[in-house]
Each structure stands twice: as structure tokens, then as C-alpha cells.
Structure 1
Amino acid sequence: MLPVLYSFRRCPYAIRARMAIHYAGVRVELREILLKSKPPAMLVASPKGTVPVLVLPDGRVLDESCDVMRWGLAIHDPDNWMDPAASREVSRLIAENDGSFKTHLDHYKYADRYPEQTPAHYRAEGEVFLETLEVRLQQRPFLLGYQPGFADVAIFPFVRQFSLVDPAWFSSAPYPELRRWLNGWLNSPLFVAVMEKYPVWQDGAVVRYFGCTADAG
């Protein structure tokens, strides 16, 4: 019996979870869902109704994306993404990404829902975090050093989403190193693999497997 992963292809939280699982080579049953029509089995496992949701064979449920990432990396982490020496800085960056930056991203992406300010205003608020990342990437190729790590994978899908709101603006914004970093991930075999399209899962449908090498235990 394999772990079951409920996912939505474009969700940045689900993307980072899938990237960690694929990198770790853990085999899971992938259930692609529609957020507007969440399957009852997923809601039973995690009533909050967000993705990703990982249901383990022993009945445990992980419904926070970083917890899913850590689960996969605890099984297999060949390039030391979970470097203990960087854990405090990783936590700080992800907290800022998942907190204030995600709020500004949502306001910028869905500015018509937040008419109190202009899209440019919300973009400028989000740029505070982009500037932080740019400064880091001017000093080294990845956010915490010379090798990719947990923070890069956890943050990349959100920067990707920010860049897609207005690609023309982003292509000329004063963040050359951030663009280099983003493009590196966008063109990586890892990202390409996890963005493969799967049919929406329905109860009784053909099982779709994800990951391929390591034993999930």
C-alpha cells in the first residue's frame, strides 16, 4: 500500500511538495483534484480542504506542504537539501515567503478583488521580498549557498507565480539574479517532471503513480 498524495497541478504549495517527493524518489499514488470540486476522501483526511494532502499507509495525514517535503527528504536526500546548519535561516525565509509575501502575491494576482489599492501598489509590496532574494542571489547561485536546498524549492513556486502576473514587467524588473535563478528552476528536469498533466482523479479510476525509486517505508 502506497502513500496517497492529493494535489492540484498549479498550486505552489503542491508544486513544492511534488518536487521534494520526486527528488527523493518516493513512490506515491497521485490524485490530481479540482479545487472547486474536492473529493470527499480528501476532505475526510483533511477537513481544511487545501493541497497538498499526504495520507500515509499507517493512517497519518500530512496536510502542510513543508511537512510533506520533510517527509520525503527524511527518506532520501542525496544532495543534503535538509542541511541542519541552515535550518534556522531556511525557516526564516520560508516564514516570510508563506506569510507577508504570499499575502502581497495574492493581492497582486487578484487585484480586482482588492480594489483598495492598485496592482502596482501590491506589486511594490511584494517586491520587498524579491529584493531580499536578489541580494542573496548576487552573492551565491542559490538562496543559502552554492548548492540548491530546501529553501530554494519551497520558495521558487511562489516567485514563479509572481512573475506570471505580468511577465513583461518581470522580464525588465531590476532582479537579474532572481530571473537567472527562476529560469534555472523552470528549465530543470525536476520541475518539468512534476508539472506533467494528469487526469482529474475520481474514485475507482486507474491509479496514477508518482516518483519511482525509493521505498516509502
Structure 2
Amino acid sequence: MTLPILYSLRHCPFAMRARLAIFKSQQAVELRDVKLTNKPAAMLIASAKGTVPILVVSRKQVIDESLDVMLWSLGKSDPANLLLESAGKLPDLLAFIAVYDREFKPCIERYKAAKRYHEPNLVECRQACEAYIQDLEQRLSEHDYIFGEHESIADIAIFPFIRQFAKVERQWYVQSSYLNLKRWLNRYLQSGMFNKVMTPYPIWQEGNEIVVFCGE
């Protein structure tokens, strides 16, 4: 049986969350790590967008949005009930993720740029991010995960973004008062799942040996 092909980039947060969902779904894919400065022709043929992740399920089905890859994977198999279907919470989960995709991620990019280029608005950029971080801190003060005591797709969808936030001003983050957020983030960073999802592989080229990535 031919496996779906996932074009990915190890440190891209969007590709990362796609791999997290595939891991959680216990599905198997052929993983092709790529460099966006040298995009393989097969990837561009699959999706002219040329961004990762791209999941080639078949000739007729190509998924090139990270959240759609997550939903496809968990729609196939969701042993950990990350979609919280029994509780009917999927619309709430997707609305939450949309806010972080459309609003929080651009804030992080501005924050990262301010730090990288020593811009004078660093604190202002950090505080813009903190409006969202404070909401998470409040949620996580009440239960272990964002939507309750049970992990959901919302947790693994925004985890890569929070990881980025924590790395911008590492010392500031370590000394910050976001104790519940730190606990939540560390749980993921120290997990076997994260180690597996972040395993480095050679950059894919035509003719390479197939790399199979599969879940727990």
C-alpha cells in the first residue's frame, strides 16, 4: 500500500503541528524533509503554494494547510479523542485555533523581528503577545489543558507557537510569572512525542530511501 507523502520542514511550526497530529492519530506517512530555498519539483507539482506542510494523499487529494492536515489525520483515527467529538466541542476548538493562527502568530513574528533587529518596540511587541498568553495562563490555572483536563487538538495546534514565544527572550520567559503555561509547555517539550516529532532526517531528494513517520 502506498503511503501518503508529507512534505515537511523540521522547525516550521505549521509543519510541526501537522506531524504532531499524525503522531497522535497513529497514522503512517512517507516523510520528506525539504529546504524551502531549494524546493523539490515533486513538491511544487503537488502544490504550487510551495509551503509546508503538504500532504499528498493521492493524485486527486492534496492537503496544503496545516490545520487541514491535522483534521485529516485525526479524522482517520483519533485514539486520544483530541477532537473532543463526544463533547461536541470541535467548533469551539477550531474557533480558538483560528484566533491564534490569525492574530497571535503575526504578533510573534513582530516580536521575533524586534528582538532580532534590536528594535525599540521590543517590549510593546512582547506585550501584544502577552494578551494571548495571559488568556492561556488563566485557562491552565483551572485545568491541565486548554479546554479542560483532557488534551485536545487546540493544545497541539498552538504548542509550536508558544514554543516560539518562549524562545524569543529566553531569560525573560524563565523569570516570568506564567507558571501554569510553563508547566504545560514543559510537558510537551519533555515528552517522547516531541522527541519523535523533532527527529532530524536527511533532506529529501529523488531516489532517497523512504522515511516512514508514524505515531505512537
Query: What TM-score results when the alignment is normalised by the length of structure 2?
Result: 0.93
**Worse-matched range after superposition: 93-102 or 80-89:** 80-89
C-alpha deviation, 1:152, in angstroms:
0.2
Q: Does the 8 Å CA contact 1:2/1:27 hold for their aligned counterparts?
A: yes
Write out per-residue CA displacement over residues 124-170 of structure 1, whole angstroms, 9 at most, x where no aligned residue. Answer: 10111001111100111100010111000001010001101111111
Per the alignment, residue 190 of structure 2 pairs with 187
User: Per the alignment, in what secondary structure is the counterpart of residue 191 of structure 1?
Assistant: helix
- Counterparts of 1:105-144 in structure 2, within 5 Å, are 105-111=108-114, 118-144=121-147
Instruction: Give me the whole-angstrom Cα distance separating, in 2, the residues matched to 1:115 and 1:179.
Output: 26
C-alpha deviation, 1:121, in angstroms:
1.3
Q: Count matched residues.
A: 213
CA pair 212-190 structure 1, distance change in 2 beyond 3 A: closer
CA pair 120-212 structure 1, distance change in 2 beyond 3 A: closer
Per the alignment, residue 22 of structure 2 pairs with 21
Q: Does the 8 Å CA contact 2:25/2:77 hold for their aligned counterparts?
A: yes
C-alpha deviation, 1:88, in angstroms:
2.4
C-alpha deviation, 1:174, in angstroms:
2.0
Query: What TM-score results when the alignment is normalised by the length of structure 1?
Result: 0.93
- Counterparts of 1:1-217 in structure 2, within 5 Å, are 1-84=2-85, 85-111=88-114, 118-211=121-214
C-alpha deviation, 1:59, in angstroms:
2.8
C-alpha deviation, 1:69, in angstroms:
0.7
C-alpha deviation, 1:112, in angstroms:
6.4
**Worse-matched range after superposition: 117-126 or 17-26:** 117-126
Instruction: Give me the whole-angstrom Cα distance separating, in 2, the residues matched to 1:173 and 1:112.
Output: 17
Unaligned runs of 5+ in 2: none
Unaligned runs of 5+ in 1: none
Instruction: Give me the whole-angstrom Cα distance separating, in 2, the residues matched to 1:52 and 1:22.
Output: 14
User: Per the alignment, in what secondary structure is the counterpart of residue 127 of structure 1?
Assistant: helix
Identity of aligned residues (%): 43
Instruction: Give me the whole-angstrom Cα distance separating, in 2, the residues matched to 1:139 and 1:111.
Output: 33
Instruction: Give me the whole-angstrom Cα distance separating, in 2, the residues matched to 1:114 and 1:165.
Output: 12
Q: Does the 8 Å CA contact 1:6/1:32 hold for their aligned counterparts?
A: yes
Query: Post-superposition, which runs of at least 4 consecutive aligned residues in structure 1 deviate over 4 A?
Result: 112-117
Instruction: Give me the whole-angstrom Cα distance separating, in 2, the residues matched to 1:56 and 1:121.
Output: 43
